Amino acid sequence: MEQLPESKNTTAKSENNLTWHNMDITRELRAEKMGQQPKTIWLTGLSGAGKSTIVNELEKRLFVYGKKTMVLDGDNVRMGLNKNLGFSEEDRVENIRRIAEVSKLMNDAGVIVLTSFISPFRKDRRNAKKIIGEDSFVEVYISTPIEECERRDVKGLYKKARAGKIADFSGISSPYEAPEAPDIEADTTGRTIEETADYIYSELKKHL
């Protein structure tokens, strides 16, 4: 007899049978072993704001001082873990949820995570903070204005978006909701990447 696909109701029922298993080696023990406080440093901002370049510079600074780190970059993750997701609002929500869950797992392993995602919606960033943990989430807003991002147009995406060749593009055909109270804010306009990274790193010390 042909087996029917599992329904959503059946899936929901199966989730009720799951049990969380606590392990003897805890997050606290791993953090102590690594000599650091695991945090997720969440960079958000428009395309072209400088997030990926800045996060790379930040990791180099942390690495030099012996910190155990991992970077989760928007494009890189979409080429692997999230390759099945598009750029609709629904897929963007799921993209950020998955990244938050991965970040939490890495924090539980004692690792400092640096992320670089547009993450345009406030509710998704709030949900990420809830998943990761309020004390472990450091929101960094790269507040480079859209005029400057579009002037750079590093990937040629703004030009395509203006021509209608890219749908749901943050800041053009889809909204970008700026953080209302980020932990750290930096505008790269008129600053070198090194200057911006130095400033953010100096502010990060308060959280690490």
* Active site positions, annotated: 119
Whole-angstrom Cα Rg for the chain: 19
Nearest to 89 by CA among 160, 174, 6: 174
Count CA atoms closer than 13 A to 98's CA, side-chain side.
18
Residues counted in the chain? 208
Tokens of 87: 């750029």
Write the Ramachandran bin of 81: left for phi over 0, alpha for psi from -120 to 50, otherwise beta: alpha
Tokens of 152: 């750079």
List the beta bridge partners of residue 72: 115
